[in-house]
Structure 1
Amino acid sequence: MSKDYRSRVERRQSSEGSKPAKKKKNPKRNWKKTLLLLVLIFGILGVLSIAAIAVTSPKLDPKKLETPVSSKIMDMNDEQVSLFSGQEKRIRVNINEIPDNVQNAFIATEDVRFRQHHGIDVRRIGGAAVANLTHGFGAEGASTITQQVIKNTVLTNEKSLTRKIREAYLAYQLENKYSKDQILEMYLNKIFFGNRSYGVATAAKTYFNKDIDELELDEAATLAALPKAPSYYDPTRNPKAAEERRNVVLNLMAQHGFISKAEAEKAKSIHVKDRIHQGTLNAESRPYDAYLKQVMDDVKKIDGMKDVDIFSAGLKIYTNLDTKAQQVTEDVLKAKLENENKYLQSGVAIVDTKTGAIRAIGSGRGVQLSNQFSSRITRQPGSTIKPILDYGPAIENEQWSTGHILKDEPVKIDDVTINNHDDRNAGDITMRQALVDSKNTTAIRTFQDIGPEKAADFANGLGFKLDPSTTYPSYAIGGFRKGISPLTLAGSYAAFGNGGLYSTPTTIRKIEFPDGRVIEVDSEPKAAMKDYTAYMITDMLRDVMDRGTATQANIPSLDIAGKTGTTNYDKNDRNKYGIPSKATKDAWMAGYTTTYSAAVWTGYEHMQDDDGSALYLDNTKDDYSKQIFRDIMKELDHKNTGFKKPKSVQEVLLEKGTGKRASEFTPDSDKIRELFVKGSTLPEVSKKFDKPATIDGLKAKFDDKKNEIQVDWKYKNKDGVTFKVLASYNDGPMQERATINDTKFVVPSPAPGKYTFQVIAIDSKNNTQSEPAETSITITAPEEPQQPGTPPGQGEPGTPPGQGEPGTPPGEGQPGTPGTGTQPGTEPGTPPDQGQPGTPPDQGQGNQVNQNRKEKQQEGGGLIPPLNQ
């Protein structure tokens, strides 16, 4: 068997040996082990990374835990302005002074397992992770009260994994060093409640004018609702939202067993607005308060800064604050409004024309209206919108000239007819004059010609947010649904003064963090329009200041442009509140120099006061916005540079009322200077004042039988034309003799001599005249016999020619002097039509005919014989 077996084996081996050897297969890899190994490796690396981050965390500083670090505010010159430091309201209380309901309201809302965890709530982290995966990152936070103390005192609010690791690590340390009551006390004394109030005891005084131990359940819940979003849930500004959030807090307290459902329902039945004590909110504002509130708003807009508390984060905030402009603004508002109706409000925004930097903010008066009437107000802009939504887009897109002719007639849109504020219409009018007179009809027609798409696009390039599909013709005259703010308006007008470059207005240049990190805020300018559009609008708005609706706001020493705007109450509101038909609701003034741009609004927050009396601007108060604008702008340091016309703009002389270019015959009084985009098609030259055609066929002849000179001529078109006849005698000065409608003129009984005539055609309608046509004729005297020995043209022998008696002035002579015949020149040697020798024609003591001639000649100036007119 063994032999056979070996043989078989040998044979098989021999057989297999004749075939190529097969490769051995690799053993199958264990992927589970590989995955586990990778997890282990990454886990170790993760732990090492977390450990590295944790050990590099800042140390807990008891001073920071106890006292917040105020942020420093720097002005435009990097000078520190102590606006936040020590200015905020703080009342510190011990934990045993804070009622249980107050403590529980915050615990139920912010960290329900606060007294069970060790600084980190693992269950809450898991729930937040699920929420973030299902509803997006940031849908729910997992920070405990302990972590919030760390975040608000030691770390920044930067949203990063590194910060969260350090926050958790330091929260665990905080729990090991301090008791729960101490941590909760830190939290409740540091938290920001809005209206410059820090700490729950301060908030109790601010909103309810109560000590902390006097708070009711609903009031405690209202305070617990605030930290999530102090501005939005501010019960003084948004009581509805505050009440909704308060009710959420009450429901959470009932859900977690801190109060019963009945207690929650009872507390929810009380209206938040009925609890607020407004008196404590009317305290005198600190210096530059309105500007600082704008800083707070602008900080929130910066990426990563939404949750930063600028009062306690130890920041150094570099702003664009112009302290002089801010102080001037506050002083002018105080002087103008302090003796007026306490409900009268005003909002002012001043920006740098070149950069858009916000230089000053003027706020409202009274119950927490500061800043509400500068950047947050949304009021209809009235006619201040016309350069932005009508004429600016027309120049930008269609290259209209400032002399473009528009029709000023009522406009009908659907069933509504829109007219001007004074119901007067001028017919055809230039775009410049339409803006100067603030015509509504032309603005709407311009908007309709341009279209809502182009109009809205132009406005949106200037900081607006308009939807073309809902930008209606009423917007063309400021009839907005939601309105705009003075800050938006000032920023948009600045672009016109900056050659068309727009910069988003901001108060902030940069922010420095305590750890050295810096955030730069660069408001990069962008081209919102062509430079010709900016200048042409500016040039028209100069005229608005000089001779239009804004003369009260004008400052003659400045090159300044601007526009007014007013809005009225609708019929329903007038009837409901008893408001006069001509009352003004909102009054605006916006304008700019090359240095500063400003917008001013005045009006009322509501239509009635607390007593039910109607609130509106009468015909004196509707000018306050212009006066405030003027009084502020004239005190600012303008760089005294005027607006420079770009090369893309050319000046053209037009003829009034025609829209055509003035001709060489257009009178100066009918010429107007308008601006055109260089290279655009110019209008044709007007023929309205063309020179009339010259007289044709002018001639003069003497009719012996009638003893008269007959002057006649031809003229093709006599409609509206008269003829002025001028004549001279013996090359003397030309004198006007007649203005006639006929084409002939007669000179009866002419004296001998040379007569020259000129005839000019006059178009009296257009006040133009033709070149003169001229002709001459010479009348010779008939030959007369002379006395022997007497020299021709003399009287008595020895008498100088042309004289009478010795010493007698020429032309006068004694009575009875020869020359009394009926025909001139009958006396030998006497010139025709004369009396004494040497007397000029038509003078002397001749017959009555000669006397009549003398009188007529004297009326004509005594230079030529009398002519028949």
Structure 2
Amino acid sequence: MSKDYRSRMERRQSSDASKPANKTKTKKPRRRNWKKTLLLLAVVLGLLGLLTIGAIAATSPKLDPKKLETPVSSKIMDMNDKEVSLVSGSEKRIRVKINEIPEPVQNAFIATEDVRFRQHSGVDVRRIFGAAFANVTEGFGAEGASTISQQVIKNTILTDEKSLTRKIREAYLSVQLEQKYSKDQILEMYLNKIYFGKGAYGIATAAKVYFNKDVSELELQEAALLAGLPKAPSYYDPTVNPKESEHRRNVVLNLMAQHKFITKEDAEKAKSIPVKDMIVEGEVKTESRPYDAYIKQVMDDLKDIEGLEEADVYSSGLKIYTNLDTNAQQATEDVLEAKLESEHEFLQSGVALVDTKSGAIRAVGSGRGGELSNYFSSKITRQPGSTIKPILDYGPAIENKQWSTAHILKDEPVELGDITINNFNDRNVGDITMRQALVESKNTTAVRAFQDVGPEEATDFANKLGFDLDPDTTYPSYAIGGFEGGISPLTLAGSYTAFGNGGVYSKPTTIRKVEFPDGRTIEVDSEPKAAMKDYTAYMITDMLKDVMDRGTGTEANVSGLNLAGKTGTTNFSKEDRDKYGLPDGATKDAWMAGYTPTYTAAVWTGYAEMKDKEGNGLYLNENEADYSKQIFRDIMSQLDHKNTDFKKPKSVTEVALEKGTGKRASEFTPDSEKIIELFVKGSDLPGISDKFEKPSTIEGLEATFNENNNEIEVKWNYEKSEGVTFRVLASYNDGPMQERATINDTKFVVPTPAPGKYTFQVIAVDSENNTESEPAETSITIEAPEGEGPPPGEGEGEGEPVTPPGQEPGTEPPGEGEPGTPGGGEGEPGTPPGQEPGTEPPGQGEPGTPPPGQDGGEDDGQGAGLLPGFDQ
């Protein structure tokens, strides 16, 4: 053993001697066991992973050559789950072979979508690791790693669900695809299958639609633009968003230069050409599709569903369950066609028809002729005019201040800085109730209501109904529809549904659910929300029913339906009037919005352009301004309404008010002077009116018998004489009370009375206020002359008849003969005392003729009939 070795050993021993002996013996075995455990775990996990991947791959669908060649159209199902159309029913398709597609065009897509397409075997491992890193740092699904082969599989065999299972199947099938087909065949499938927007499928179709060229004629800048479209066809649409489209095109050109498909000089030259100068739209003939306007709305609504991409809708074989009411849709299209067919080509109308309870869009009306769309129903932004008043003015006032429908507002011009707001006819009435102000569509009161509520409360109320308003920029002019931007018929219809649905709002949608070919389903929940109190909804509805019955909406009303609604019109600014030579007060937009408990509709009518082809300004004439109301009426009248009425909630109470006073009606207020208004239960009620008072009771009423004149004189006293008449009623021998006369005098005479008891009632009638006093009553008994016996009914024998004066013994008493005959037996008329034989009895002649001896005054009995025993 060398010296150096001994020295090293000594040093090691010396070092070991300085350490505790028990520590060095316990660590080494632990490190060896931990490594073995990790290794074993990795092996197990690897095996499990392989088994899982194998199981998923084994359950993958088989490659179907037909599906690879032809996209599977999605189906549109109506509200009853009946298929009504295929999404691809109006698609544009021109198929080409790969050798017909120029190489620069192919390279534009390869550089953008899958730069190593020619090298990999269906899956790009390098791209997977890059995407995996993004998914770890940004969340799963943040970035895709799909090759062109994988995209072909996804768009034909699988769905676009972002899940690990789908990605495994996608990779497995992509490898199979690469084994069965060549690269050129796969690229041909891809370029003929992808969606480019505007209904165009495939590269050849897109070349015709956007540039009116054959695919073989495409230039570099055109190929790059098309290669950028599939990522988001609507967003990068060069005809709608040229700026965004140009940016995307330049990204593609940079990628082509980066990967050496073109030179940097070629890229810069292509980028220098503005997109606007490139577009030459062409026509590709397609077959018309039923319910086209509605289906286009479905396409828009699908974009809002998480988990869907635009291409999937057209080529993934989806079942799209919608809220389409085919009868309502057909009626809407028919009405629009009939109304607009012979009108100016720029005159347009948009209709949105929504289920009042659920917010489901039942029909969409927009456009005319063979170009039906959803543009004028859901995409236009036009000022809403007076249809906004329930939303920004009176609704918030009821909601936040508990105004009654009888709340008094001042109808006078409103000064807003240099602007004066007045009514459309410049007429003012002073104080007016909120109900009547809405019925007459007053502008001044609407602005005052908005000012009382304030912009924050008003916009909060509107935004719960589907609006998007900023209180800082919502000015008093908004109160009458003077928006800086505007709204669509669909937004307006959606907001009005809440008034008809007890205050509950559901965002309108065409879609109920989407079902994928693999059975996966996405449910669409409209999430109903309480947007206002039920009393607000009902009170607005009750006032809007009056708008339809006797206000500005009468032309839109439908007999037999419980309809609530509001009209609206807007005018041009002075600047536009001067620019286009329009008259003062020219109508720009005409609106009608309304609802039953079943359907809610909003209709807009106006011109799509400001001037015609000759440069003349366009505006709605007096006749055209009523088209919205007529279209609304004609559509609503054809729908299947449940014909129920709006249910009054317990939070609302009906109160009878006195017209013109703003106070509650008293017990003396005539019915003709009462009006029913609505109040929030528990809110303060107005006092009781004292305008109408009950007439004072008759005083000093007495009846005396004047033997000299053989008559009963009935007299009384009454302080007021002007505007007061007296109703006199009488009964004989406690018989029924009968009205005898209405007179102006305070005296009434009964001539030639028969023996018996007479009872009289006198009532004072105030004709000015249409009120009556309590009846005053008096009685008198006329004794029979000596020798004539007691009055009728007072004979001495039990049951023996007593013959009254003027009746022959043994004959029937008066009134026992023929109906209407005062005396006589067997139908022969008898002659009462004081009546000439053959003449009519007193009171039976000309109207107004008093009985003999009666001084009728100015009103002498009005032809009252005789009571039994009177004037006999």
Alignment of 1:285-296 (within 5 A): 285-296=288-299
Amino acid at match of 1:289: D
Matched, 1:459 2:467: no
Q: CA deviation at 1:331?
A: 1.1
Q: CA deviation at 1:858?
A: 12
- Go from structure 1 to structure 2 and tell me whether the alpha carbon gap of 1:343 and 1:46 turns closer, same or farther (over 3 Å shift): same
Match of 1:72 in 2: 75
Residue 407 of structure 1: which of 406, 410, 426 is its match? 410
- Go from structure 1 to structure 2 and tell me whether the alpha carbon gap of 1:428 and 1:186 turns closer, same or farther (over 3 Å shift): same
Match of 2:49 in 1: 46
| Structure 1 CA distance for aligned equivalents of residues 572 and 727 of structure 2 | 72
Residue 560 of structure 2: which of 549, 557, 562 is its match? 557
- Go from structure 1 to structure 2 and tell me whether the alpha carbon gap of 1:210 and 1:530 turns closer, same or farther (over 3 Å shift): same
Matched, 1:593 2:596: yes
- Go from structure 1 to structure 2 and tell me whether the alpha carbon gap of 1:305 and 1:22 turns closer, same or farther (over 3 Å shift): closer
Residue 245 of structure 2: which of 239, 242, 245 is its match? 242
Match of 2:620 in 1: 617
The DSSP-based 3-state class of the residue aligned with 2:303 is: helix
Residue 376 of structure 1: which of 375, 379, 391 is its match? 379
Match of 2:163 in 1: 160
- Go from structure 1 to structure 2 and tell me whether the alpha carbon gap of 1:590 and 1:184 turns closer, same or farther (over 3 Å shift): same
For the 8 Å contact 1:531–1:648, the answer to whether it is kept is yes
- Go from structure 1 to structure 2 and tell me whether the alpha carbon gap of 1:144 and 1:576 turns closer, same or farther (over 3 Å shift): farther
Matched, 1:110 2:113: yes
Q: CA deviation at 1:60?
A: 1.7
Match of 2:26 in 1: 26
Alignment of 1:491-570 (within 5 A): 491-570=494-573
TM-score, with structure 1 as normaliser: 0.76
| Structure 2 CA distance for aligned equivalents of residues 773 and 122 of structure 1 | 110
- Go from structure 1 to structure 2 and tell me whether the alpha carbon gap of 1:233 and 1:690 turns closer, same or farther (over 3 Å shift): farther
Matched, 1:478 2:477: no
Q: Deviation digits for residues 271-299 of structure 1, max 9, x if unmatched?
A: 43444445627977421111111222222
Matched, 1:303 2:309: no
Amino acid at match of 2:48: L
| Structure 2 CA distance for aligned equivalents of residues 376 and 693 of structure 1 | 68
The DSSP-based 3-state class of the residue aligned with 2:512 is: strand
| Structure 2 CA distance for aligned equivalents of residues 652 and 697 of structure 1 | 39
Match of 1:338 in 2: 341
Q: Which runs of 5+ in 2 are unaligned?
A: 1-20, 702-714, 731-739, 747-761, 779-854, 862-872
Aligned length: 728
Matched, 1:225 2:234: no
For the 8 Å contact 2:337–2:369, the answer to whether it is kept is no
Residue 145 of structure 1: which of 145, 148, 153 is its match? 148
The DSSP-based 3-state class of the residue aligned with 1:280 is: coil
Matched, 1:426 2:429: yes
Amino acid at match of 1:247: N
For the 8 Å contact 1:377–1:484, the answer to whether it is kept is yes
Match of 1:782 in 2: none
Q: Deviation digits for residues 116-151 of structure 1, max 9, x if unmatched?
A: 332223333344445556666555432222211111
Residue 256 of structure 2: which of 215, 233, 253 is its match? 253
Report percent identity of matched pairs: 74
Match of 2:815 in 1: none
- Go from structure 1 to structure 2 and tell me whether the alpha carbon gap of 1:773 and 1:255 turns closer, same or farther (over 3 Å shift): same
Amino acid at match of 2:665: A
- Go from structure 1 to structure 2 and tell me whether the alpha carbon gap of 1:574 and 1:218 turns closer, same or farther (over 3 Å shift): farther
Match of 1:647 in 2: 650
Q: Which runs of 5+ in 1 are unaligned?
A: 1-20, 699-710, 716-720, 739-757, 776-856, 864-869
Q: Tell me the C-alpha RMSD between the 2 structures.
A: 3.8
- Go from structure 1 to structure 2 and tell me whether the alpha carbon gap of 1:26 and 1:673 turns closer, same or farther (over 3 Å shift): same
Matched, 1:449 2:452: yes
| Structure 1 CA distance for aligned equivalents of residues 556 and 860 of structure 2 | 60
| Structure 2 CA distance for aligned equivalents of residues 181 and 382 of structure 1 | 59
| Structure 2 CA distance for aligned equivalents of residues 676 and 325 of structure 1 | 36
The DSSP-based 3-state class of the residue aligned with 2:61 is: coil
Residue 319 of structure 1: which of 317, 322, 326 is its match? 322
Q: Deviation digits for residues 32-83 of structure 1, max 9, x if unmatched?
A: 6655554454344333333332333222221111111112222112222133
For the 8 Å contact 1:429–1:657, the answer to whether it is kept is no
| Structure 1 CA distance for aligned equivalents of residues 284 and 417 of structure 2 | 48
Q: CA deviation at 1:87?
A: 4.1
Matched, 1:59 2:67: no
Match of 2:736 in 1: none
Residue 91 of structure 1: which of 79, 91, 94 is its match? 94
Q: CA deviation at 1:500?
A: 2.2
Match of 2:578 in 1: 575
For the 8 Å contact 1:500–1:530, the answer to whether it is kept is yes
For the 8 Å contact 1:723–1:759, the answer to whether it is kept is no
For the 8 Å contact 1:722–1:762, the answer to whether it is kept is no
Amino acid at match of 1:653: A
Indicate the larger mover: 35-44 or 289-298: 35-44
Q: Deviation digits for residues 653-698 of structure 1, max 9, x if unmatched?
A: 2122332112233344432221222332221112233458899999
| Structure 2 CA distance for aligned equivalents of residues 349 and 321 of structure 1 | 12
For the 8 Å contact 1:315–1:513, the answer to whether it is kept is yes
| Structure 1 CA distance for aligned equivalents of residues 341 and 225 of structure 2 | 34
| Structure 2 CA distance for aligned equivalents of residues 218 and 460 of structure 1 | 44
Q: Deviation digits for residues 324-353 of structure 1, max 9, x if unmatched?
A: 111111111111112222222221111112
For the 8 Å contact 2:148–2:190, the answer to whether it is kept is yes
Match of 2:848 in 1: none
- Go from structure 1 to structure 2 and tell me whether the alpha carbon gap of 1:159 and 1:725 turns closer, same or farther (over 3 Å shift): closer
Match of 1:707 in 2: none
For the 8 Å contact 1:156–1:308, the answer to whether it is kept is no
Indicate the larger mover: 688-697 or 339-348: 688-697
| Structure 1 CA distance for aligned equivalents of residues 168 and 856 of structure 2 | 116
The DSSP-based 3-state class of the residue aligned with 2:312 is: coil
For the 8 Å contact 2:90–2:286, the answer to whether it is kept is no
Amino acid at match of 2:509: T
For the 8 Å contact 1:724–1:760, the answer to whether it is kept is no
Q: Deviation digits for residues 764-812 of structure 1, max 9, x if unmatched?
A: 7x8889999999xxxxxxxxxxxxxxxxxxxxxxxxxxxxxxxxxxxxx
Match of 2:784 in 1: none
Indicate the larger mover: 464-473 or 671-680: 464-473
Amino acid at match of 1:170: L
Matched, 1:184 2:187: yes
Match of 1:215 in 2: 218
TM-score, with structure 2 as normaliser: 0.76
